[in-house]
């Protein structure tokens, strides 16, 4: 997600559109990214540690963004997901 | 002097940058992002454009290109490196320059002839300007808002590392109207405006004397040449 203290023009534009559609109860909209990473085999601590490292070093830029969560989701295929 | 211009997938202004290098009197060397070969160049330009479609973040994927490993090493040795627009974004993503660039505060792409003040004329790319020279060169970007932590801004301002500052208006929400910065050594400079588009009469910004006659950008490239010649 963009850092809370930074202006998020994309979120602001979406918020403006919602207000024009009559959805004025939302006082703020912020917009981030979600990455879905898929691995073959089990998701163990080593995989999660690697994902955390990638999330910090490549998938996000800590100057402008925060990693807000890393979750394992069991779907048809096992997938490890990181949101930035 | 041989100045390399790196072409990435999605670079737009690489040819203009090569032309600016030639007009400045140096030899332009086309470099390719996918190699590890700087071909022995004496300085490097990372040009503008939309490398990798601005996917992930502007400049982020390009900053991990094979040739960037060599660019980073060269920069650390003191080789002059100029990042223009997308090139500036790459330099921040590669941690050669501090801070980051985010979407313009007004949400729109902006394209205009932009007034700037050159506040540091001792860098490898600005030594040919008079102190506090006021210049006009094109600016064109969607994500040009320079941001950094308060400590980093204080450091940049305190050390005179704000190289160019927007004049007259702030086109994108950059903190302190910052248009371009340098590293501590002054060999690495990044800026959002495009000096390579103001290097030849007939194709530059309008000036008081004639339409499209502005060539203020050329001095960035002649500065690199002057600095190089002083060392040989």
Question: Which of A4, A57, A61, A67 is the mutation pick for testing B, counting most B CBs within 10 A?
Answer: A61
pLDDT tens digits, B157-197: 999 999 999 999 999 999 999 999 999 999 999 999 999 99
Measured CA to CA, the distance from residue B121 to residue B111 in angstroms comes to 26
Question: Which of A1, A4, A9, A30 is the mutation pick for testing B, counting most B CBs within 10 A?
Answer: A9
pLDDT tens digits, A34-58: 999 999 999 999 999 999 999 999 9
SS3 at position A25:
coil
Q: Chain A: nearest CA to B100, how far in angstroms? A: 6
Q: Chain B: nearest CA to A75, how far in angstroms? A: 25
Which residues have C-beta within 8 Å of that of residue A25, sequence separation ≥ 6?
none
- Per-domain boundaries in chain A: 1-32, 33-84
pLDDT tens digits, B32-91: 999 999 999 999 999 999 999 999 999 999 999 999 999 999 999 999 999 999 999 999
Quote the ipTM score: 0.81
pTM: 0.93
Determine the pLDDT at residue B232: 77
Joined tokens for residue B12 = 């737009």
The domains of chain B, with CATH numbers, are 2-229 (3.40.50.880)
Task: Concatenate the DSSP letters of all residues of B130-147 into one string.
Answer: PTT-EEEEEEEESS-EEE
């Amino acid at each position: 997600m963009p850092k809370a203290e930074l202006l998020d023009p994309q979120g602001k534009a979406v918020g403006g559109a919602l207000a024009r559609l009559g959805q004025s109860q939302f006082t703020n909209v912020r917009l981030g990214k979600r990455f879905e990473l898929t691995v073959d085999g089990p998701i163990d601590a080593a995989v999660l540690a690697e994902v955390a490292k990638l999330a910090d070093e490549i998938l996000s830029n800590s100057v402008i963004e925060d990693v807000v969560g890393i979750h394992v989701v069991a779907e048809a295929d096992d997938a490890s997901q990181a949101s930035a | 002097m041989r100045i390399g211009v790196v072409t990435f997938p999605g670079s737009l202004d690489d040819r203009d940058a090569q032309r600016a290098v030639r007009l400045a009197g140096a030899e332009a060397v086309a470099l390719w992002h996918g190699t590890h070969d700087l071909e022995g160049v004496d300085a490097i330009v990372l040009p503008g454009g939309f490398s990798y479609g601005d996917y992930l973040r502007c400049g982020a994927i390009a900053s991990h290109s094979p040739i960037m490993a060599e660019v980073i090493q060269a920069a650390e040795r003191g080789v002059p490196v100029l990042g223009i627009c997308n090139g500036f974004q790459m330099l921040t993503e590669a941690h050669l320059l501090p801070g980051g660039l985010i979407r313009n505060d007004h949400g729109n792409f902006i394209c205009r002839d932009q007034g700037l003040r050159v506040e540091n004329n001792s860098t490898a790319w600005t030594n040919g300007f008079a102190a506090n020279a006021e210049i006009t060169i094109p600016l064109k970007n969607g994500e040009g808002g320079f941001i950094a932590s308060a400590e980093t801004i204080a450091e940049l301002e305190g050390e005179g590392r704000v190289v160019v500052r927007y004049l007259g208006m702030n086109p994108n929400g950059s903190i302190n109207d910052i248009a371009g910065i340098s590293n501590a050594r002054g060999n690495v400079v990044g800026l959002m405006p495009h000096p390579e588009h103001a290097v030849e009469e007939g194709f530059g910004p309008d000036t008081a004397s004639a339409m499209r006659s502005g060539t203020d950008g050329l001095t960035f490239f002649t500065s690199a040449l002057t600095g190089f010649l002083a060392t040989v």
